[in-house]
Each structure stands twice: as structure tokens, then as C-alpha cells.
Chains A and B, each alone.
Chain A
Amino acid sequence: MLFNSVSYLVFLPFVTIILFLVPGKFQWLWILASSTVFYYMLLPQYLVVFFALIPLNYYLGLRIGNAGMNKQKVFNIALVINLVVLALFKYSGILDSLFDSILSHPRSDTFWRIILPIGLSYFIFTILSYLIELKRGTIPPEKHIGIFAAYLMFFPKILQGPIERPGKIIQQFRGDKHFDYDRIVEGLKIMLWGYFKKLVVADRLAIYVNAVYGNADQHNGSTLSVATFFYAFQIYADFSGYTDIAIGSAKIMGFELTNNFKRPYFSTSIKEFWNRWHISFSSWLRDYLFLPLAYYFSGKMKDEKYLGIETEKWIFLFSSLITFAICGIWHGEGMNFLVWGLLFGFYLSYSNWTAGISKNLRKIFHISKKSAYYTAYKIILTFLLVCIAFVFFRANDLDDAFIILRKIVLSRGEIFIGEWQQFIFGICGIIILIAAEAIQEFSKVTLPYKSRFWLKEQFVYLSLLFLIIFIGVFDGGQFIYFKF
């Protein structure tokens, strides 16, 4: 079942009530059972994959924890196994094409035409995080296979993250979960905000974006610009909406998950953007890919200038490009995803390489970094750079992406509105979202919203609820990041 289905609103309270009734030392069992049922209702045939990986990695984790000198060897084996499983499912399309070209005729069997099980990527990233931390010795191996399984299968996060670090979350499955009114209300409020983002903002904007991007060659640059702008908010609202529902659901049950988004469109640089967007994934990339790569290159390169540029800058460039290339490839097998990733690598490297020049220019023109105008300029510039990258992310393929960008730059005309009502709802959703996030960003107000006046607080949430009932899209389908 999906988070945005009525069945989930029945499933969650039922699971929570039983959880509180089950004795503390068996609660992991109930979590595991309900998570299994949750996934079973989505893709039952792929439960086999998850339940094969759990004991395998449990065993490998114990071996890594107790391996002594052979730790690296066991870790390498574990890493390869998990990555091969992920690659097999994720890139079966490429393997399929490869087989067809080798055999010189298309086959009718479906061995390689495997659908990626929803959540497998996040599942395996969580496992890899566990294995890496074990190897580094920052955590001990989990000896209780049931708790290990519950940690991996935990239904609020299995489909789309957050990718939880083992040190933060595994112990939570040992604690006794009990009823706490304030915690449950807070969880419900976070979920409500998540549903608003998904149903009112994301799914509403999706109607326009799909109509335009699905017929990109029929639309002018002005329309494509609007659609790209809408898409930036669609994908953010969709993904962060899911995260809020996940965090709220977990909180209701007594678990704390990592906040995955921190108002990314108020970032003043691409570096800051990636500290605020899909935080659990970007920190995963930083800690397990970027930093090890940087360390590796720093060992290989001499501490001198190459082509007049310091070594650190070259290390940053290579590490960024490789990390974000992998990030792009993870999102999809098309060249457009690779370019999307490389673009961010390039943005970061450019910023890193020109940091000194920027600082000098600010000095020359007496521009304070804290000035409101400068901050606004940086926010808008960062947002525009992100939107350009999103063209590659959303387009069907690389050719389409370049056609769209060329049109955005060169072609102008009347903006396609489609159905006025949809357009107005979309704009209203964006305005409310920006306003709510701006309040959080520039004041001390945090979500969930709290007020000294109870009635005032309730009216805020009632307003959200009725906005969902009145202009939410109830049959908008699954979340975007499921397919990754």
C-alpha cells in the first residue's frame, strides 16, 4: 500500500495500537511482521529478495565484526554481493539490450526484464552503511537477527528512506514503545504537512508538468520554463512529503528518523543545497564515497600545483565528479541522469575553484555576505542552477533535455495554461509552501507549528486538512523516488 492511500490510514493506527500492547522485548517482532505485510501489499514477489539479503548480511556483519585481520576481505565480499544484487535489478534494461545485441535478435523471455523492487536501493544503501560502519569499528555487529531484520524492513522508511545510520536507529528497536499523547500528536501534525505537500502541491503540479514535458516539442520556451519551475516544486514536495509522512508515522510509534530535507530552495550555494536536500543520501555519499575518494586521491597526488592549480582543488574536482556521476547513474540508466549528476559535480567544483575570486570581488564591491540583497541573489541563483539540472532529470532522454533547454533560452511565446483551475491550484500550493518554509527559515518558528493559543494552533492544522480535502489530488499515484 502507498502512504497516500486510505488503507495506510487504517494500517498505521492498527499497527501502533498493537505495538503499544505487545511487551517491549517482542515489539521488534511486531514491527517486522507489520513491515512484511506492508511490503507484501505492494510487491509480494520481491519479499524473497529482501529476506534473502537479511540473513546473508547479518552473517557477513558478524564475520566483519569478529574477523580481525580478515575484516577487509569479508567486507569486500559483502560489498560486491550487495552491489551486484542492486546492479542486477537496477540495470536489467541495459543487460537486456546487451544480450539482444550479442545474440543479434530480440528474445521473448523475460529473465533480464526485471522490475526494480521498490525500496531495494534504500534497503541496500542501509545495509552498506551498516557494513561500512562495522568495518570502521564505530558500531558493534548486531547479534539479534530479529532486530537487524526489523531495522532493515521498518516500513516507514523502507520504500524511500531516509537512509538511517545504524548507530542512530538500531538501538531504538530495543526500547519499549508506549503511548505518549504529545508525541503522537506531533507525529500526526508532521504527517498532515507531508500529505499537504504530496496531495496539494506535488500531485497537482504533476498534472501540468506531465502534460508539458510529455509533449515538449509542442510547447514554447516560456511554457517549458514554467513547467521546469513547477517540476522543481513537484519533486521537492513529493519527496519531502513522503519523508514527513515517514517521520510522522515513525514518531507516532516512538521512533525518531532523520529529517531528510531542510528547506533546500533557500540554499545560498550548491554545496548548501546538498546539505539540505535528501540529507540522508547526500551525507551517505559524502561519508562513504566523496571523502574516501578524496583521501585516495590525496594519497596519490603530490602536494604541489598542477597547471597552476593547487592539489586540493584537483582532488575536490575528481572526487565531486565521480561521486555525482555515480549519484546520477544511481537515479537512472539514461545519459540524462549521468549529465544531471555531472552538472552538480561541475557546479560544486566551480564554486570551490572560484571561492577566492568571489571573496575578492565582494571586497572590491563592498558586498557583505550577510546582506539581504546578496542572500536573495544567491538563493535565486542557486535555485536557477538547480532548475537547469532538473531539466535533465525530468526529460525523457538527453536529446529531449537539450531541446528543452534550447527552447527555454531561445523560444518565447504565450504560456500554455491548460485548465485554469489546475494552474491556480498549483500556484496556490507553491505560494503556501514557500511561505511556510520562509517563515521557518527566517524566524524561530519550527514545524510542527505550535502556538500559546491552542485554538489558533488547531485552526492552522484544520486549514491544512481542508486544503487537502478541497484541492488535494487523491488519485495521484505513487511517489517519484519509488523508481530509484
Chain B
Amino acid sequence: MNRLRFFQIFVFILLIVSIDQVIGRVTRHLYFSQKAGQNYSLNYVFTECRSQILIFGNSRAQHHYDTHLLSDSLKMSCYNAGQDGGHSIFLPYAQIQVILRRYAPEIIILEFDPNSVKFHSEDYDKLSVLLPYYSVYQYLHPLIEMRSPFEKEKLLSASYPFNSNIVNIIRYNTKSHAARKKDMNGYIPMDNRTLNMTYLRNYPVQTLGNSVDPNKLKALKDIIQLCKDHHVLLLIVNSPKFYFSGETPNSVSSPEKQAMDIIHQEKTIFLDFSNDAAFAKRMDLFADRIHLNLKGAMLFTQEVAAMVKSVKKTISKKEM
């Protein structure tokens, strides 16, 4: 191979690295400049939020906990850090690690279904939401690197963390602040649609596999320990699901039992509304099988607020 070839290879590699760095830096700047959307919310939770009550979880967290109702009822500031997109416990695990290094909220409500500790490969794909933070938070590396083999090597690229995100990054850089205010401190209410029999016939109760994901169990355990270490009152809540007459929830699976064992062993408060009589068979309170509609979320938030008051009272009495 002659000198020209070597020079061409060198220039090509240099071009790859340079373009990658330029695109990566520009996109990074745009990413952290977003004014609305899920990425903005995640960044806000990581860097600015100092609310007294924080709610974590997936779309069930985001759509079920009315922050204004909770604030009014408990006289405390509240932010809903729930994220749409079917995330597993991995995202709250990352969020809580970052938050508690910055400040300690008084109460953390973790929306968590014990059944979700089953293994599901898509949950690792969804760690992509944390990729932009890989270079920011070293202690998140073990979690983010679980996404795939060679993830660490892929993250040598400055552009890769923003994979599949560029349209939203641009879009939410152009939306005005007004759009952000509408999300009500992270809470995004579902509309008022209700369930119907056609939908229920087409979408029966789903059962996933039966193997536990040890990484998820570890995440749960670490969350509980972190809250204890920082003297944060942690309430784990499993919000309502819909079951109509004739349907019963699936029997307790082994992974679910293992998650419950951790919660009980760590003496953590667990509020299980998943089959609560006040909600389970009320088609008018649900938008789909697992998401409450606006009316349902209001009722549920009131229940949670009452529970939180009761727990706080009990704790105060014990301390006295």
C-alpha cells in the first residue's frame, strides 16, 4: 500500500472523528436547550428540581398522580418525574441516584408493579433515554452499559447518544415556554375517554414470561437503600388496573413474589391499588386497561394523598 493510501485512510478517519465531534457537540447543546417534552422533563429532574415530593415511574406514574392535587392536599411542592414510553424500574433508579446526590426530597412515591421485575429485553433498549447523560454522570455507567454489549464502545461516539432523537430535539427547541407550563409539574393527564367492551375483548389481560430479571431486583433494593441512607420517606405504589367481572388478576408469579419479599424485608411502605375495589371494575375511570383517565387520576390522587397524610401522621407519632 503506497503513501497516498495511508494518507487517504488517515484523512478519512480524521473526518469521521471531526464530524462526529461537531455533530455530537451541536446536538448535545440542542438536547440540553430543549424547552418542553420528555427529554426536558428528564433534564429538569436531574438538574433543577427541588420539590418536596417526587413521583417516579413509567406512564402510569406520569398519568395517574395529579401534582396540583397532591400539593394542595399535602401543602408541599410536588413534581411528577414519571416518563411515558413503557420504562422499567431502571429509569427511576437512575433518576433517584442523580437526585439524591443533589438534594433529599421529603417524600418519594415510586409507581411500581412487582410483576415488572420479569425479564424483558425491550427494557434494556429503553435505557437509550439515559445515553446523553453517560458523559455527565460517571456513576450511571454500570446501568447504561447494560443496554447492550459494546455499549461502552458505541458511546465513544459523540453523536451516538442522540440516536433516534434528533427530530424531537429540534422540535422541542422551537416550542415555547407556554407548552412546558401545560404539563402541570410533570403530570400529564389522560383525556376523558373510557373503556368499552369492544376494546376489552380485543385487549385481554396480558401475561409476560416467568423469569425474573436480577438486575431489576437489584435496582429495587438499591432504591430502597438509597432512600433510607438519605432519610427520604419512600412509598411504593402499584396504581389501579382494570379487571371486569369474570376476569381475575394473574396469580402471583415467582418474580413478583421475589420483588414483594424485598419490599417486605426492607420494611418499605407498599400501597397496592392494583385490584382495589374502588377502581378495578369501573370502566368510567380508565382510558385503557392500565391507565386511569382524568377522572380516575383525580380520585386516585386523592386516595394517595390521604394515605400519605396517614403515613406521615403515624411516623410523627412514632418519633414522638
Query: Do the two chains belong together in a single complex?
Result: yes
Q: Which of B105-113, B135-143, B156-164, B239-247 faces chain A?
A: B156-164
The answer on a CB contact under 8 Å between B16 and A465 is yes
Which residue of A is nearest B148, CB measured?
A: A475
What mask results when residues 40 to 51 of chain A are scored 1 for a CB within 8 Å of chain B, else 0?
000000000000
C-alpha spacing A474/B157, complex, angstroms? 14
Contacts between chains A and B (CB distance < 8 A), count:
54
Q: Does A421 contact B (CB under 8 A)?
A: yes
Is B306 on the interface with A (CB-CB < 8 A)? no
CB nearest neighbor in B for A459: B15
Name B's interface SS.
Answer: helix
Question: Is B165 in contact with chain A by the CB < 8 A criterion?
Answer: yes
Contact A470 B150, beta carbon cutoff 8 Å: no
- B12 at interface by CB-CB < 8 Å: yes
A250 to chain B, nearest CB (A): 21
Q: Does B265 contact A (CB under 8 A)?
A: no
Assess whether B164 is in contact with A469, with CB atoms less than 8 Å apart.
Answer: no
Cβ of A116 < 8 Å from any Cβ of B?
Answer: no
Are B163 and A420 within 8 A (Cβ)?
no
The answer to whether A420 and B167 have CB atoms under 8 Å apart is yes
Chain B residues contacting A425 (CB-CB under 8 Å) are 164, 167
Chain B residues lying within 8 Å of A217, measured Cβ to Cβ, are: 202
> B154 is contacted by which of A6, A7, A458 (Cβ under 8 Å)?
A6
User: Which among B125, B150, B168 is the interface contact of A421 at CB below 8 angstroms?
Assistant: B168
The reply on A471 being an interface residue by CB < 8 A is yes
Known: A7-B149, A181-B5. Is A469-B168 also a contact (CB below 8 A)?
no
Contact B12 A458 (CB under 8 A): yes
Bound state CA distance, A215 and B202, in angstroms? Answer: 9
State how many angstroms separate the Cβ of B203 from the closest Cβ of chain A. 9
* A424 nearest in chain B by CB position: B167
The reply to whether the CB of B1 lies closer than 8 angstroms to some CB of chain A is: yes
Q: Report yes or no: B159 in contact with A469, Cβ–Cβ below 8 A.
A: yes
Q: Which of B11, B23, B164, B168 has the most CB of A within 10 A?
A: B164
Chain B neighbourhood of A181, CB < 8 A: 1, 5
Contact of A211 with B by CB under 8 A: no
Q: With A217-B202, A218-B202, A470-B162 known to touch, is A475 a contact of B154 (CB < 8 Å)? A: no
Residue-wise, chain B 206-238 has the 8 Å CB interface mask toward A (1 for contact) of 000000000000000000000000000000000
A-B contact pairs, 19 of them (CB 8 A): A6-B150, A6-B153, A6-B154, A7-B150, A215-B202, A217-B202, A420-B167, A422-B164, A425-B164, A454-B8, A465-B16, A466-B19, A466-B159, A469-B157, A469-B160, A470-B166, A471-B166, A474-B154, A475-B148
Additional A-B contacts beyond A420-B167, A471-B164, A474-B148 (6; CB < 8 A): A6-B153, A7-B149, A462-B15, A466-B19, A466-B20, A470-B166
* Pairs A-B, 4 closest by C-beta atoms: A6-B150, A421-B167, A475-B125, A469-B159
User: Which residues of A are at the interface with B, using a C-beta cutoff of 8 A?
Assistant: 6-7, 181, 215, 217-218, 420-422, 424-425, 454, 458, 462, 465-466, 469-475
Q: Taking beta carbons and an 8 Å cutoff, which residues of B are in contact with A?
A: 1, 5, 8, 11-12, 15-16, 19-20, 23, 125, 148-150, 153-154, 157, 159-160, 162-168, 171, 202
